[in-house]
A and B are shown apart, each in its own frame.
Chain A
């Protein structure tokens, strides 16, 4: 399958939407009455978090594809999605900490259930790469990673529920971060930012898929040409080329 198809258009569109989103965030959306300018990080942090968690769940769904069909292309899809989400996850935690420092005065706030739940999910997914890396047989690696991705994907919503429960039994949250009380201009900016971030994720995902597939095909072609100089594949957590 050609993942490079329409990649350029998609990349341009995502870059455009993201730029529009940030332009809207700075020039169109009103200043937050309570937090002031700092609140602008919301248009980066929250879309990134949503897309990151969506990527984890997408990785889980692709993993179900592998378990059902046994086709290793699903493993690659799942791996790339989770890998990208992990990178986004670092960004979410960093921007979250900056926001916490600016608006609550400390770098980490354990009372904020969403941030804590995100950290737990992130720590779980951080095991994904070591787990893959320590299984040598590629077929087994794909299957075990898929089981992990399915379990972890189901865990993400449960975890958010449980961590939120731990707080809400103490003091209920009336206003949620993404709640329905946002004024129209803010909401529009937020939605554009989510769309842009999703576009960025899809672009990067397709780009990585195209690159991995091209590498695999190049190796296969060189092997068929009888290239003896072919260096052995470097050991990595990434899925190996299907043979």
Chain B
């Protein structure tokens, strides 16, 4: 299964490298969102819970852009049929897509997080925030893949994805924002192990849940 998943992942990354369909748009979107927040909140610098909230919400909405497109090529160019015809474990597609989304998110954050620090963040950036973001990314990748697979067969894909994904991600937003907020404030505390545990647990539950139900989304 791992070999198949890696093959699909390699294909996805190659397609993204050549077409540049998702990641540049997601990164650009997050930059635009910072500008929107700067004027929407009328602040030139943010800290603490406000900074955490803006960062989480921006990354989340940028992720929705990527989630929307995750399975489009499979559906429009017959990738689903080809995958079902191949004698391989179907869960490999889930693993591959979730990993691809994770890579996309990390690539976006390579641009979006430094941009946030330069443009909006008041206090110095605490690198421990990257741990919280990494755990959040895993959750977004898994839940996003599930939501994308659910929505891709519907007529209103772009509407269903955010409607399904965002409520499912609310607990993750709570934990990420609460975990980030002390790290992004002036001399505020350090890493809160409690929120990391919540994030890790939520990620684990959804990895198992997605693994259990994903096969049913591919039957045909």
**Which residues of chain A have a CB within 8 Å of any CB of chain B?**
67, 120-121, 123-124, 126-127, 130-131, 134-136, 140, 143-144, 146-148, 150-151, 154-155, 158-159, 161-163, 165-166, 169
Contacts and interface: CB of A to CB of B under 8 A. Distances in A.
Given A143-B219, A151-B146, A158-B202, 12 more contacts: A124-B168, A126-B163, A127-B160, A130-B163, A131-B151, A134-B156, A134-B160, A135-B155, A140-B220, A143-B217, A154-B209, A163-B170
B38 to A, nearest CB: 25
B83 to A, nearest CB: 17
A126 B159 CA distance: 13
A120 B213 CA distance: 22
Contacts of B209: 150-151, 154
Interface of B: 146, 150-151, 153-156, 159-160, 163-164, 167-168, 170-171, 174-175, 178, 194, 198, 202, 205, 209, 212-213, 216-217, 219-220
Main secondary structure of the interface of A (DSSP, over half): helix
Contacts of A127: 160, 163-164, 167
A130 B213 contact: no
A159 B170 contact: yes
Given A127-B160, A130-B159, A135 B167 contact: no
Given A134-B155, A134-B156, A169-B178, A67 B168 contact: no
Contacts of B150: 131, 144, 147-148
A162 B213 CA distance: 23
Contacts of B146: 151
Contacts of A130: 156, 159-160, 163
Contacts of B175: 162
A82 to B, nearest CB: 14
B171 A135 contact: no
Contacts of B213: 67, 147, 150-151
A50 to B, nearest CB: 20
Contacts of A158: 171, 202, 205
Contacts of A155: 167-168
A120 B167 contact: yes
B161 to A, nearest CB: 10
Contacts of B171: 158-159, 161-163
A181 to B, nearest CB: 27
Contacts of A151: 146, 168, 209, 213
A161 B205 CA distance: 13
B173 to A, nearest CB: 9
A169 B202 CA distance: 17
A68 to B, nearest CB: 10
Nearest to A170: B178
B174 A131 contact: no
A119 to B, nearest CB: 9
List the 9 closest A-B pairs by CB distance, nearest first.
Answer: A162-B171, A124-B167, A134-B154, A127-B163, A134-B156, A134-B155, A166-B174, A147-B213, A120-B170
Given A154-B209, A158-B202, A162-B198, A135 B153 contact: yes
